[in-house]
Amino acid sequence: MDARSLLSLTKGLQREPTVPGMNPVTLQTLDIVRPGDPRYDEVRPAWNLAIDQRPAAVAVPRDAHEVVAAVLYAKREGLKVAAQGTGHNASPLGDLSDTLLIKTHEMRGVEIDPDNRIARVEAGAQWGDVVGPAGEHGLAALAGSSHDVGVVGYSLGGGVSFLARRYGLSADRVLAAEIVTADGELVRADRSRNQDLFWAIRGGGGAFGVITALEIELLDLPTVYAGAAFFPIERAAEVLHAWRELTQRVDDRTTSIGRILRVPPFEEIPEPFRGRPFAMVEVIHIGDQRSGDAVVKALRDLEPEIDTFGLIPTSALIHLHMDPPGPVPGKGEHHVAMATLPAGAIDAFVAANGAESGSQILTAEIRHIGGAVARRDGASGAAHLDAEYISFAASMAATPEMAAKAEQDLAQLDAALEPYESARRYLNFTEATADATSFYEADTLARLRAIKADVDPDGIFRSNHPLD
Ligand SMILES: Cc1cc2nc3c(=O)[nH]c(=O)nc-3n(C[C@H](O)[C@H](O)[C@H](O)COP(=O)(O)OP(=O)(O)OC[C@H]3O[C@@H](n4cnc5c(N)ncnc54)[C@H](O)[C@@H]3O)c2cc1C
């Protein structure tokens, strides 16, 4: 598929979206692929290759006009509509046999306005499309850990970056959205227009329409201090307890992750990482070499096998977590949200997934959030996480045997950490179907449902985590 990325320094970003009604030519040119079409298997897969999604039809629009055409097509055919950027969170979508899947991977344009610190990204843009061009101007985005996570899906669900404790959620940096509504109209939602819709999409997910573009605020942050300390997995308890104590000392300039990573034995992975299990801590500190070195001193005192801490361009943060370079078959059902992290939770995490556990989980992490993520001001949207720590784990599931083992290991980790669950779950880290009440406070959910009923009374739009 043709990935287009456009860096324009001159275009005004505050323009009105325009679609001059339904253009019959657009519907003729729109690519709609149905089962039986030889291209069906090419266009239907999700990023998570373990998900065998089989929609009634797939539309691959190239611009907002074609998104309008796709929505009108679905209405005419009596189909529901689900938008998908990458399919990183495809697994809770479920049966799509009555649904037109609008895959936005042909819409990856990115425009950076360095003077106003704004990026305008099209629906299919991935974080890797944004951080590089933004970084050329010393600007940073609240990107996820992977270069190929979609900006839109991530931001609609909240968006926890490595800078979150200082700068909050990605959803709170969304300045405007261009949305195709259930009527097939392209509208702009921002602080002064379609305010309810603007509030809802910033955390409420993809249930309100198809986003064709977002404008997001960038940060003036050319460099950060960041890196990881790697220890043999046998030292997991000692290392992760030290990490837990570190999280209790730092202010919101420091975000960190305690993690157990079993590096796959792939040839392309260099020694000494290839095929080895590690206990590790990743640290991201907004500051200089000196203050960063002070933050990680307690970890260096433990004499890690390798440590990579130092000042880096903020755009290089996208490589820190060593996420897969492209689509993989995975299982990631585990996710627990915690208001506090008692020492017992670290013991449980290590017992369920450490060297003696029998687990083969590829990556299991506990992220320290809180800080600005937990604060709210009048400008915030529907996204709000009250957890101070969130865990996430994923395993490879390339064969049925691997999938079964992954399920067993993830269930073991779930059972170990469940007693410590003490906050609302994070929608983006939830890869199983979940009740909307597990994500939102009652008043937030009631408002989201009222807006959904108003803008999509027939319930055409399906999101991965529905609100009902
Ligand atoms: C390897 C990996 C790393 C990750 N790292 C992070 C991280 O660091 N921080 C974090 O917070 N999360 C992270 N996530 C979770 C990620 O934020 C979610 O999976 C998110 O849903 C991905 O968005 P997407 O657009 O790529 O996925 P998709 O599966 O394409 O989209 C998810 C949902 O978003 C909605 N959506 C997408 N595009 C549109 C659109 N154009 N219009 C309307 N709705 C739309 C739909 O409801 C869709 O079902 C990670 C996930 C993985 C697998």
Nearest-atom index, ligand 1, CA of 93: 49
Q: What is the pLDDT of residues 236-278, one digit of tens each?
A: 999 999 999 999 999 999 999 999 999 988 888 888 889 999 9
> CB of 160 within 8 A of CB of 389?
no
Residues with CB under 6 A from ligand 1: 83-90, 93, 104, 123, 144-146, 149-150, 152-154, 156-157, 159-160, 205-206, 210-211, 323, 428, 463-464
User: What integer is the mean pLDDT of 281-285?
Assistant: 98
Return the higher-pLDDT residue of 286 and 9: 286
Q: How many angstroms separate the alpha carbon of residue 85 from the centre of ligand 1?
A: 8
Model pTM score:
0.93
> CB of 68 within 8 A of CB of 180?
yes
Q: What is the pLDDT of residues 452-466, one digit of tens each?
A: 999 999 999 999 999
Does the pLDDT value for residue 15 go beyond 80? Answer: no
Does the pLDDT value for residue 79 go beyond 60? Answer: yes
